[in-house]
Structure 1
Amino acid sequence: MGIRLTATVSSALQRRRRNHRSEIFNIIEAVMEQQRSNLTNTADYSIWKSSSDTYKSVFTTKNTWNLLHQEGTTVEWCKGLFKHHTPKFAFFTWLALHNRLSTGDRMLQWNAGVSSACIFCNQFETRDHIFFSCTYSAAVWSQLMRGLLRTRYTTIWTEVLELTLDNSLGMITTFLTRYVFQITIHILWRERNDRRHGATPISVQALVKMLDRQIRNKCLSFRQLGDFTYAASLSDWFATR
């Protein structure tokens, strides 16, 4: 077409229109001719595609992401990834919900010779077992959540997940259930991996104490953030201990 690779749009439009043997080049020339007729003396500006037919002057990551990726079906458990979550706990929970952790049952699919025994109780390790049917993890979960959930307390994965989605528990209880759920599975998995690599085991009481301190720190942070909506979470947590 006679346009240099390093040419600017302005310099390309200033060149004389040409006729080409290739029809696609003639089509491009016609579009460029149309653009020449629309030229004004105003300064150039950038616009960003916001939707299929809408352009805006402001860039948003969300709109760009939606345009580049096909939107999937909204899953019910997305409600459990809530405001004031801790990113690393939320991401780990997302992996667990998709059953993408390297539990014993999944490792057997990759290597038939690998040990599939739970490092805590020596039973067959699955996601649903380690969270929270295993005797060790069940003891940790019980000390943390039995006082909060009372008659609705459970160690069955699907039922625990339902509780994190149940807004009828009340705003503060729902928040605490979701946060304790996420931080507990993260810490349990870290303890599981540490033991598999030869680290000294941490007792149930020590692990519960560690989790309790982190949960209290999270509750205390609301006052520093100026969010008094969840300020009562600390007193409610104290009441269950």
Structure 2
Amino acid sequence: MRAMILAAGRGERMRPLTDHTPKPLLVVGGKPLIVWHIEQLARAGITELVINHAHLGVQIEEALGHGTQWGVSIQYSPEKVALETAGGIAYALHLLGSAPFLVINGDVYTDIDYASVQLTQDKLAHLVLVDNPVQHPEGDFCLHNGLVEAEGRHKLTFSGVGVYHPHLFESVTKGEPAKLAPLLRQAMQTGHVSGQHHHGVWHDIGTPERLLQLDIALKKQQA
């Protein structure tokens, strides 16, 4: 299975840190955020990677190269203007192939076992959900008997990690911005989105304060 790391976001909430450094290259626990993902993917045996970028994207290519130092192969999907999640994925489909592929938000930190995230043949998407963090108490979707549903009483938060079938993006015009949530909600209506609840480590690195908190916690673990 191939994997795509989403790295094209501007990171407005992370300013001024992201004025000169793309968000995925911000350092936490001694290494860039995106490197944590690359190392985890390599350990899971997922070595064919695609990374999209827009804001200061050249820095990402210069920092990561072809991925050889981590035992992976990296291809890049540069975007002149950030195409949002679904638009960015659709734009990179020619690099991802015709089989289901894993997608990871580049601005999260997690211990999710990427090898455990799998898509069954009759589904278009499989999402990893987590407990709602303080900054997102309302959650996103519900998980019921292995299926993800748009509405319900006990919502969980989408972790930004999922496996998708290319067919999910058939309606997206290549090169046009498009959001992922409407595509997922449409697929949920027909029972084509499965999911799992991750109970381990997950952090959304959305602000400089959360980046600092995670950095301190990781350095304590490493001490």
Q: TM-score normalized by structure 2? A: 0.24
**Higher RCO (C-alpha 8 Å, min separation 6):** 2
TM-score scaled by length of structure 1: 0.22
More helix by share: 1
Answer with 1 or 2: which has the greater Rg: 1
| Greater fraction of residues in strand | 2
